[in-house]
Amino acid sequence: MKSFRIYYSRGLRVKIDDITILLDPKSSTASRADLVLVTHAHQDHAGGYIFSSLRSLVVSSKITKSIVEKITRRRALNVKTIQENKQIDFGKFSVYALNAGHVMGSLQYIIEFPDLTLCYTGDINLVDTITEKRASIPEGVDVLIIESTYGSEDFVFPPRSEIYSSILEWVEYQVNRGEIVVLGGYALGKGQELTALLKEILDKIAVSRKVFFYNRIFEKERFSLENYVPLESSEGRKLVQSGGVVVVPHLELRKHTPYTISRRLGLSKVPKVAVCTGWAAASSRFYAIKRAFNVDMLFPLSSHADVEQLLSFVDEVRPRLVYTVHGFSRRLAKLIRQRLGIKARRVFDARQQTLTRYVKNL
Ligand SMILES: [Zn+2]
Protein backbone atom coordinates (compact mmCIF):
# COMPACT_ATOMS: atom_id res chain seq x y z
CA MET A 1 0.00 0.00 0.00
CA LYS A 2 1.40 3.36 -1.06
CA SER A 3 -1.36 5.81 -0.18
CA PHE A 4 -4.40 6.06 2.10
CA ARG A 5 -6.94 8.89 2.23
CA ILE A 6 -10.32 9.36 3.87
CA TYR A 7 -12.45 12.35 2.86
CA TYR A 8 -15.95 13.57 1.98
CA SER A 9 -16.94 13.91 -1.64
CA ARG A 10 -20.66 13.28 -2.13
CA GLY A 11 -20.37 10.77 0.70
CA LEU A 12 -17.59 9.43 2.84
CA ARG A 13 -14.79 7.97 0.73
CA VAL A 14 -11.78 5.85 1.47
CA LYS A 15 -9.07 5.79 -1.20
CA ILE A 16 -6.36 3.18 -0.95
CA ASP A 17 -3.86 3.40 -3.83
CA ASP A 18 -6.15 3.31 -6.89
CA ILE A 19 -9.21 1.82 -5.15
CA THR A 20 -12.05 4.09 -4.01
CA ILE A 21 -14.69 2.81 -1.61
CA LEU A 22 -17.77 4.96 -0.97
CA LEU A 23 -19.38 4.52 2.45
CA ASP A 24 -23.09 5.22 3.00
CA PRO A 25 -23.88 7.58 0.07
CA LYS A 26 -26.45 10.04 1.40
CA SER A 27 -27.71 11.36 -1.89
CA SER A 28 -27.51 10.75 -5.59
CA THR A 29 -23.94 10.95 -6.63
CA ALA A 30 -22.59 11.28 -10.14
CA SER A 31 -19.11 9.97 -9.51
CA ARG A 32 -18.58 6.23 -9.37
CA ALA A 33 -16.60 4.17 -6.92
CA ASP A 34 -14.99 0.73 -7.08
CA LEU A 35 -17.34 -0.37 -4.32
CA VAL A 36 -20.18 1.19 -2.31
CA LEU A 37 -20.90 -0.08 1.19
CA VAL A 38 -24.28 0.75 2.78
CA THR A 39 -24.58 0.02 6.50
CA HIS A 40 -28.34 0.47 7.02
CA ALA A 41 -31.54 1.86 5.54
CA HIS A 42 -31.87 5.23 7.34
CA GLN A 43 -32.13 8.00 4.75
CA ASP A 44 -28.92 9.76 5.86
CA HIS A 45 -26.97 6.57 5.13
CA ALA A 46 -28.84 4.97 2.23
CA GLY A 47 -30.22 8.02 0.38
CA GLY A 48 -27.86 7.37 -2.55
CA TYR A 49 -28.31 3.56 -2.64
CA ILE A 50 -30.36 3.24 -5.84
CA PHE A 51 -28.40 5.82 -7.81
CA SER A 52 -25.06 4.37 -6.73
CA SER A 53 -26.19 0.91 -7.84
CA LEU A 54 -26.56 2.20 -11.40
CA ARG A 55 -22.86 3.02 -11.60
CA SER A 56 -21.05 0.94 -9.02
CA LEU A 57 -21.38 -2.32 -7.13
CA VAL A 58 -23.27 -1.84 -3.87
CA VAL A 59 -22.93 -4.17 -0.87
CA SER A 60 -25.53 -4.21 1.92
CA SER A 61 -27.62 -6.63 3.95
CA LYS A 62 -30.64 -8.20 2.27
CA ILE A 63 -33.01 -6.36 4.66
CA THR A 64 -31.45 -2.96 3.86
CA LYS A 65 -31.77 -3.63 0.11
CA SER A 66 -35.37 -4.72 0.46
CA ILE A 67 -36.33 -1.66 2.59
CA VAL A 68 -34.65 0.76 0.15
CA GLU A 69 -36.38 -0.85 -2.83
CA LYS A 70 -39.77 -0.77 -1.14
CA ILE A 71 -39.42 2.88 -0.09
CA THR A 72 -38.12 4.15 -3.43
CA ARG A 73 -40.26 1.70 -5.45
CA ARG A 74 -37.18 1.14 -7.62
CA ARG A 75 -34.95 -1.88 -8.12
CA ALA A 76 -31.32 -1.63 -7.12
CA LEU A 77 -29.40 -2.96 -10.12
CA ASN A 78 -25.87 -3.85 -9.18
CA VAL A 79 -25.97 -5.27 -5.65
CA LYS A 80 -24.31 -8.06 -3.69
CA THR A 81 -26.02 -8.78 -0.39
CA ILE A 82 -23.97 -9.94 2.57
CA GLN A 83 -24.89 -11.62 5.84
CA GLU A 84 -23.49 -11.02 9.31
CA ASN A 85 -20.19 -12.83 9.91
CA LYS A 86 -19.72 -13.52 6.20
CA GLN A 87 -17.04 -12.32 3.80
CA ILE A 88 -16.94 -11.33 0.15
CA ASP A 89 -13.63 -11.48 -1.67
CA PHE A 90 -12.91 -8.78 -4.28
CA GLY A 91 -9.42 -9.92 -5.27
CA LYS A 92 -7.32 -6.97 -4.08
CA PHE A 93 -9.30 -6.77 -0.82
CA SER A 94 -12.18 -8.43 1.02
CA VAL A 95 -15.21 -7.20 2.94
CA TYR A 96 -16.48 -8.85 6.13
CA ALA A 97 -19.82 -7.90 7.74
CA LEU A 98 -20.59 -7.64 11.46
CA ASN A 99 -23.79 -6.83 13.33
CA ALA A 100 -24.10 -3.12 14.19
CA GLY A 101 -27.06 -3.45 16.61
CA HIS A 102 -28.57 -0.16 15.38
CA VAL A 103 -31.72 -1.15 13.43
CA MET A 104 -32.81 -4.29 11.60
CA GLY A 105 -30.34 -5.14 8.84
CA SER A 106 -27.63 -2.77 10.11
CA LEU A 107 -24.02 -3.86 9.58
CA GLN A 108 -20.46 -2.73 10.25
CA TYR A 109 -17.87 -3.51 7.59
CA ILE A 110 -14.29 -4.70 7.91
CA ILE A 111 -12.34 -3.97 4.72
CA GLU A 112 -9.20 -6.05 4.59
CA PHE A 113 -6.22 -5.28 2.34
CA PRO A 114 -3.05 -7.39 2.49
CA ASP A 115 -1.29 -4.76 4.61
CA LEU A 116 -4.14 -2.71 6.14
CA THR A 117 -7.47 -3.52 7.80
CA LEU A 118 -10.16 -0.88 8.14
CA CYS A 119 -13.48 -1.01 9.95
CA TYR A 120 -16.42 1.30 9.29
CA THR A 121 -19.08 1.10 12.02
CA GLY A 122 -21.93 3.08 10.44
CA ASP A 123 -24.36 3.84 13.28
CA ILE A 124 -23.84 1.46 16.20
CA ASN A 125 -25.68 0.49 19.34
CA LEU A 126 -23.68 -1.29 22.03
CA VAL A 127 -26.38 -2.63 24.36
CA ASP A 128 -28.91 -5.44 23.92
CA THR A 129 -32.43 -4.11 23.39
CA ILE A 130 -35.74 -5.95 23.12
CA THR A 131 -35.44 -5.80 19.33
CA GLU A 132 -31.69 -5.71 18.54
CA LYS A 133 -28.61 -7.56 19.71
CA ARG A 134 -25.68 -5.30 20.60
CA ALA A 135 -22.99 -4.62 17.97
CA SER A 136 -20.16 -7.13 17.63
CA ILE A 137 -16.59 -6.09 18.43
CA PRO A 138 -14.31 -6.19 15.34
CA GLU A 139 -10.84 -7.71 15.71
CA GLY A 140 -7.47 -6.99 14.10
CA VAL A 141 -8.43 -3.47 12.96
CA ASP A 142 -5.71 -0.92 12.05
CA VAL A 143 -7.98 2.00 11.17
CA LEU A 144 -11.38 2.43 12.78
CA ILE A 145 -13.95 4.82 11.28
CA ILE A 146 -16.54 5.29 14.02
CA GLU A 147 -19.74 7.29 14.30
CA SER A 148 -19.74 10.03 16.96
CA THR A 149 -23.41 11.13 17.04
CA TYR A 150 -23.37 11.23 20.86
CA GLY A 151 -19.62 11.55 21.28
CA SER A 152 -19.69 14.18 24.02
CA GLU A 153 -19.68 13.86 27.84
CA ASP A 154 -23.21 15.32 27.84
CA PHE A 155 -24.55 12.01 26.58
CA VAL A 156 -24.51 9.13 29.05
CA PHE A 157 -27.62 7.00 28.75
CA PRO A 158 -29.28 5.29 31.73
CA PRO A 159 -29.49 1.45 31.60
CA ARG A 160 -31.97 0.26 28.94
CA SER A 161 -34.19 -1.39 31.56
CA GLU A 162 -34.54 1.93 33.43
CA ILE A 163 -35.51 3.76 30.26
CA TYR A 164 -38.04 1.05 29.41
CA SER A 165 -39.57 1.26 32.92
CA SER A 166 -39.88 5.02 32.83
CA ILE A 167 -41.59 4.94 29.41
CA LEU A 168 -44.04 2.25 30.55
CA GLU A 169 -44.80 4.01 33.86
CA TRP A 170 -45.47 7.31 32.14
CA VAL A 171 -47.66 5.74 29.43
CA GLU A 172 -49.63 3.71 31.98
CA TYR A 173 -50.20 6.79 34.14
CA GLN A 174 -51.51 8.81 31.18
CA VAL A 175 -53.69 6.01 29.79
CA ASN A 176 -55.22 5.35 33.22
CA ARG A 177 -56.23 9.01 33.31
CA GLY A 178 -58.02 8.56 29.97
CA GLU A 179 -55.43 10.49 27.97
CA ILE A 180 -54.41 9.78 24.39
CA VAL A 181 -50.65 9.23 24.24
CA VAL A 182 -48.51 9.98 21.19
CA LEU A 183 -45.00 8.47 21.30
CA GLY A 184 -42.46 9.60 18.73
CA GLY A 185 -39.23 7.97 17.56
CA TYR A 186 -37.56 7.02 14.26
CA ALA A 187 -40.00 4.90 12.24
CA LEU A 188 -37.25 2.36 11.47
CA GLY A 189 -35.76 1.15 14.74
CA LYS A 190 -37.50 2.85 17.63
CA GLY A 191 -40.90 2.31 16.00
CA GLN A 192 -40.45 -1.47 16.41
CA GLU A 193 -38.78 -1.17 19.82
CA LEU A 194 -41.66 0.94 21.18
CA THR A 195 -44.27 -1.37 19.64
CA ALA A 196 -42.59 -4.40 21.24
CA LEU A 197 -42.16 -2.59 24.57
CA LEU A 198 -45.81 -1.51 24.79
CA LYS A 199 -46.88 -5.17 24.57
CA GLU A 200 -45.95 -5.29 28.27
CA ILE A 201 -48.90 -3.11 29.24
CA LEU A 202 -51.30 -2.86 26.28
CA ASP A 203 -52.96 -5.47 24.07
CA LYS A 204 -53.32 -3.08 21.13
CA ILE A 205 -51.80 0.19 20.04
CA ALA A 206 -52.20 2.30 16.91
CA VAL A 207 -49.23 3.14 14.71
CA SER A 208 -48.77 5.60 11.87
CA ARG A 209 -48.42 4.42 8.26
CA LYS A 210 -44.60 4.51 8.28
CA VAL A 211 -44.25 2.65 11.57
CA PHE A 212 -46.76 0.07 10.29
CA PHE A 213 -44.63 -0.40 7.16
CA TYR A 214 -41.45 -1.16 9.16
CA ASN A 215 -43.27 -3.24 11.78
CA ARG A 216 -44.52 -5.58 9.03
CA ILE A 217 -40.97 -6.05 7.69
CA PHE A 218 -39.68 -6.56 11.23
CA GLU A 219 -42.25 -9.29 11.87
CA LYS A 220 -41.18 -11.15 8.73
CA GLU A 221 -37.50 -10.92 9.60
CA ARG A 222 -37.47 -11.22 13.38
CA PHE A 223 -40.42 -12.07 15.59
CA SER A 224 -44.10 -11.49 15.66
CA LEU A 225 -45.56 -8.42 17.42
CA GLU A 226 -49.29 -8.68 16.61
CA ASN A 227 -50.23 -5.83 18.93
CA TYR A 228 -50.63 -2.94 16.52
CA VAL A 229 -53.12 -1.62 14.01
CA PRO A 230 -52.78 1.26 11.54
CA LEU A 231 -54.04 4.55 12.97
CA GLU A 232 -55.90 5.15 9.70
CA SER A 233 -58.00 1.96 10.12
CA SER A 234 -61.38 2.01 11.83
CA GLU A 235 -59.96 -0.12 14.64
CA GLY A 236 -57.09 2.32 15.02
CA ARG A 237 -59.41 5.31 15.16
CA LYS A 238 -61.68 3.60 17.68
CA LEU A 239 -58.67 2.70 19.79
CA VAL A 240 -57.58 6.29 20.27
CA GLN A 241 -61.02 7.85 20.66
CA SER A 242 -61.27 7.44 24.40
CA GLY A 243 -57.60 7.03 25.31
CA GLY A 244 -54.92 4.85 23.80
CA VAL A 245 -51.42 4.98 22.40
CA VAL A 246 -50.18 5.98 18.95
CA VAL A 247 -46.56 5.48 17.82
CA VAL A 248 -45.45 7.91 15.12
CA PRO A 249 -42.13 8.99 13.53
CA HIS A 250 -40.83 11.82 15.71
CA LEU A 251 -39.90 13.84 12.63
CA GLU A 252 -43.62 14.14 11.89
CA LEU A 253 -44.06 15.87 15.26
CA ARG A 254 -41.55 18.59 14.48
CA LYS A 255 -42.84 22.15 14.60
CA HIS A 256 -46.23 20.95 15.85
CA THR A 257 -47.93 21.65 19.15
CA PRO A 258 -49.91 18.84 20.85
CA TYR A 259 -53.01 20.70 19.58
CA THR A 260 -51.95 20.63 15.92
CA ILE A 261 -50.78 17.03 16.35
CA SER A 262 -54.31 16.07 17.47
CA ARG A 263 -55.71 17.68 14.31
CA ARG A 264 -53.12 16.10 12.01
CA LEU A 265 -53.68 12.64 13.44
CA GLY A 266 -57.46 13.09 13.66
CA LEU A 267 -57.56 12.54 17.43
CA SER A 268 -60.63 13.37 19.49
CA LYS A 269 -58.66 15.50 21.95
CA VAL A 270 -55.27 17.04 22.58
CA PRO A 271 -52.85 14.18 23.36
CA LYS A 272 -49.94 13.85 25.77
CA VAL A 273 -46.86 13.73 23.57
CA ALA A 274 -43.46 12.17 24.30
CA VAL A 275 -40.42 11.84 22.05
CA CYS A 276 -37.70 9.20 22.39
CA THR A 277 -34.29 10.59 21.47
CA GLY A 278 -30.73 10.33 22.71
CA TRP A 279 -30.67 14.14 22.89
CA ALA A 280 -32.82 13.83 26.03
CA ALA A 281 -29.76 12.48 27.88
CA ALA A 282 -28.16 15.95 27.88
CA SER A 283 -29.41 16.73 31.39
CA SER A 284 -28.12 20.31 31.44
CA ARG A 285 -30.17 21.02 28.34
CA PHE A 286 -33.13 18.73 29.03
CA TYR A 287 -35.71 21.48 29.52
CA ALA A 288 -34.44 23.54 26.57
CA ILE A 289 -34.69 20.46 24.36
CA LYS A 290 -38.11 19.56 25.75
CA ARG A 291 -39.33 23.09 25.00
CA ALA A 292 -37.80 22.96 21.53
CA PHE A 293 -39.55 19.67 20.82
CA ASN A 294 -42.71 21.21 22.30
CA VAL A 295 -43.70 17.95 24.00
CA ASP A 296 -44.83 16.79 27.44
CA MET A 297 -42.01 14.32 27.96
CA LEU A 298 -38.67 13.17 26.53
CA PHE A 299 -37.05 9.77 27.02
CA PRO A 300 -33.34 9.09 26.29
CA LEU A 301 -34.08 5.98 24.24
CA SER A 302 -31.56 5.82 21.43
CA SER A 303 -30.44 3.36 18.74
CA HIS A 304 -26.92 4.81 19.03
CA ALA A 305 -24.14 4.28 21.56
CA ASP A 306 -23.51 6.97 24.20
CA VAL A 307 -20.08 8.50 24.76
CA GLU A 308 -18.91 5.99 27.38
CA GLN A 309 -19.99 3.04 25.22
CA LEU A 310 -18.18 4.53 22.20
CA LEU A 311 -15.00 4.94 24.24
CA SER A 312 -15.08 1.39 25.63
CA PHE A 313 -15.75 0.06 22.10
CA VAL A 314 -12.65 1.88 20.79
CA ASP A 315 -10.67 0.64 23.79
CA GLU A 316 -11.66 -2.97 23.03
CA VAL A 317 -10.94 -2.68 19.30
CA ARG A 318 -7.58 -0.95 20.00
CA PRO A 319 -6.91 0.28 16.44
CA ARG A 320 -3.79 2.23 15.49
CA LEU A 321 -5.81 5.18 14.24
CA VAL A 322 -9.42 6.34 14.66
CA TYR A 323 -11.48 8.61 12.44
CA THR A 324 -14.71 10.01 13.90
CA VAL A 325 -17.69 10.92 11.73
CA HIS A 326 -21.04 12.68 12.36
CA GLY A 327 -22.23 14.64 15.40
CA PHE A 328 -19.62 15.38 18.06
CA SER A 329 -16.72 14.15 15.95
CA ARG A 330 -14.12 16.66 17.18
CA ARG A 331 -15.04 16.07 20.83
CA LEU A 332 -14.94 12.27 20.58
CA ALA A 333 -11.59 12.35 18.75
CA LYS A 334 -10.18 14.45 21.61
CA LEU A 335 -11.57 12.08 24.27
CA ILE A 336 -10.08 9.07 22.46
CA ARG A 337 -6.66 10.76 22.36
CA GLN A 338 -6.80 11.92 25.98
CA ARG A 339 -8.39 8.92 27.68
CA LEU A 340 -7.19 6.02 25.55
CA GLY A 341 -3.93 7.38 24.14
CA ILE A 342 -4.96 6.32 20.63
CA LYS A 343 -4.43 8.61 17.64
CA ALA A 344 -7.80 10.02 16.59
CA ARG A 345 -9.07 12.74 14.32
CA ARG A 346 -12.39 13.70 12.84
CA VAL A 347 -13.42 13.61 9.23
CA PHE A 348 -15.05 16.97 8.89
CA ASP A 349 -18.61 16.86 7.61
CA ALA A 350 -20.03 20.25 6.75
CA ARG A 351 -23.55 18.90 7.16
CA GLN A 352 -23.17 17.56 10.67
CA GLN A 353 -25.53 19.03 13.23
CA THR A 354 -24.45 20.40 16.56
CA LEU A 355 -26.95 20.29 19.41
CA THR A 356 -27.60 24.04 19.13
CA ARG A 357 -28.23 23.81 15.41
CA TYR A 358 -30.38 20.71 15.85
CA VAL A 359 -32.61 22.42 18.39
CA LYS A 360 -32.84 25.58 16.27
CA ASN A 361 -33.92 23.56 13.25
CA LEU A 362 -36.85 21.93 15.02
ZN1 LIG B 1 -29.15 5.32 11.55
How remote is the CA of residue 103 from the centroid of ligand 1, in Å? 7
How remote is the CA of residue 264 from the centroid of ligand 1, in Å? 26
CA distances from 161 to 129, 167, 305, 347 (A): 9, 10, 15, 34
How remote is the CA of residue 124 from the centroid of ligand 1, in Å? 8
How remote is the CA of residue 334 from the centroid of ligand 1, in Å? 23
| Verdict on whether the full-model pTM lies above 0.85 | yes
How remote is the CA of residue 278 from the centroid of ligand 1, in Å? 12
- Report pLDDT for 206: 95
- Report pLDDT for 1: 67
Compute the distance between CA of residue 135 and CA of residue 127 in angstroms, rounded to an integer.
8
Question: What does the domain layout of the chain look like in residue ranges?
Answer: 4-154+303-360, 160-299
- Report pLDDT for 30: 54
How remote is the CA of residue 173 from the centroid of ligand 1, in Å? 31
CA distances from 124 to 146, 314, 320 (A): 9, 12, 20
- Report pLDDT for 251: 79
- Report pLDDT for 252: 78
Compute the distance between CA of residue 135 and CA of residue 118 in angstroms, rounded to an integer.
17
Tens of pLDDT along the chain (362 residues) come to 678 899 887 789 999 999 999 999 987 665 689 999 999 999 989 999 999 999 999 999 999 999 999 999 999 999 999 999 999 999 999 999 999 999 999 999 999 999 999 999 999 999 999 999 999 999 999 999 999 999 999 999 999 999 999 999 999 999 999 999 999 999 999 999 999 999 999 999 999 999 999 999 999 999 999 899 999 899 998 888 778 999 999 877 776 777 888 887 778 889 999 999 999 998 777 787 777 777 899 999 999 999 999 999 999 999 999 999 999 999 999 999 999 999 999 997 545 444 444 444 33
- Report pLDDT for 259: 81
Query: CB 91: neighbour CB atoms within 10 A?
Result: 5
Q: Which CATH number is 4-154+303-360 given? A: 3.60.15.10
Q: Which CATH number is 160-299 given? A: 3.40.50.10890
How remote is the CA of residue 223 from the centroid of ligand 1, in Å? 21
How remote is the CA of residue 122 from the centroid of ligand 1, in Å? 8
- Report pLDDT for 298: 93
How remote is the CA of residue 48 from the centroid of ligand 1, in Å? 14
Whether residue 39 contacts residue 108, with contact meaning beta carbons closer than 8 Å, is answered with yes
- Report pLDDT for 354: 44
How remote is the CA of residue 55 from the centroid of ligand 1, in Å? 24
How remote is the CA of residue 271 from the centroid of ligand 1, in Å? 28
How remote is the CA of residue 134 from the centroid of ligand 1, in Å? 14
Compute the distance between CA of residue 265 and CA of residue 191 in angstroms, rounded to an integer.
17
CA distances from 268 to 198, 229, 259 (A): 22, 18, 11
How remote is the CA of residue 202 from the centroid of ligand 1, in Å? 28
How remote is the CA of residue 45 from the centroid of ligand 1, in Å? 7
